[in-house]
Amino acid sequence: MGLPRRTLAGREVATALIAEAAEIGRVPPTVLRDGPFGTGMVQLWIDTADATELVDVLAPADLPAGWRVVLRAASEDGEPLLVAHADLPGLRELAILDVVVNNTDRKGGHILPGTDGRIYGIDHGICLHTDPKLRTVLWGWTGEPLPDEALDKLRKLRWTLDRDLGQTLSEHLTADEIAALAARTDELVAAGVHPAPSGEWQAIPWPLF
Ligand SMILES: Nc1ncnc2c1ncn2[C@@H]1O[C@H](COP(=O)(O)OP(=O)(O)OP(=O)(O)O)[C@@H](O)[C@H]1O
Ligand SMILES: [Mg+2]
């Protein structure tokens, strides 16, 4: 008998496997391990710098050059505030990974700026559902064409999903969930642009961090 599927730990491992196979986004090495309370997930600890270097809530005057604005809001005193994020290749790849894994919880605190200069995504326990649920702070590239390199990586992901990766993922996900992952990848390649919130569900996580 195999491991139980549809577990939070299995989704963490599956997302790490997808990121690694596609080379889209960076997830710390993540494995299943037996422990005193049963099987769970263990992940490499990443030493991090200040997370607000990547995502922040700030006054319009403080917006760093090149940052992408996601949301315009106001403080309790009525002062304008922006939710915004940096425009870096590693962050953009994480946004693309989130679309294919259907991440429903990409908060600022789930984006780690490693002291090694790399950007890591964590907390993927509620990814990979069959129903669309993308909820993220990384909407800053909405409507923009995907970089050619990302499109190539998505095609590679789709290829290996029908082969080795699909086989490995079947230890953690149901056939329906793998089919939905393949369909989301196909849709993203066909659209060729970063998606917009559908308006059918809350597209921004709360709290933001
Ligand atoms: N691999 C990691 N490397 C470094 N820090 C990590 C790692 N995994 C988790 N953390 C830290 O621990 C915090 C909580 O982890 P995680 O988000 O996975 O758990 P959670 O139970 O969902 O908590 P929360 O409700 O705060 O999101 C993260 O925001 C991060 O600061
Ligand atoms: Mg969390």
How does the average pLDDT of the chain come out, rounded? 95
Centre of ligand 2 to C-alpha 152, Å, is: 30
Q: What is the pTM of this model?
A: 0.95
Instruction: Kindly indicate the confidence band of residue 3, based on its pLDDT and cuts at 50, 70 and 90.
Output: low
Supply the pLDDT for residue 144: 98
Residues 6+ apart with CB under 8 A from 191: none
Average pLDDT over residues 119-141: 97
The residue count of the chain comes to 209
Centre of ligand 2 to C-alpha 111, Å, is: 10
Residue 28 Cα: closest atom of ligand 1: 1
Instruction: Kindly indicate the confidence band of residue 58, based on its pLDDT and cuts at 50, 70 and 90.
Output: very high
Lowest mean per-residue pLDDT among 30-39, 122-131, 176-185? 30-39
Our mutation pick for probing the ligand 1 site, out of 15, 122, 124, counting the most ligand atoms within 8 A of Cβ, is 122
Average pLDDT over residues 33-58: 91
* pLDDT at residue 34 is higher than 90: yes
Closest residue (by CA) to atom 26 of ligand 1?
109
Pocket of ligand 1, beta carbon within 6 A: 28, 43-46, 48, 109-110, 112, 122-123
Closest residue (by CA) to atom 29 of ligand 1?
109
- Reported as a single tens digit per residue, the pLDDT across 8-29 is 999 999 999 999 999 999 999 9
Centre of ligand 1 to C-alpha 122, Å, is: 7
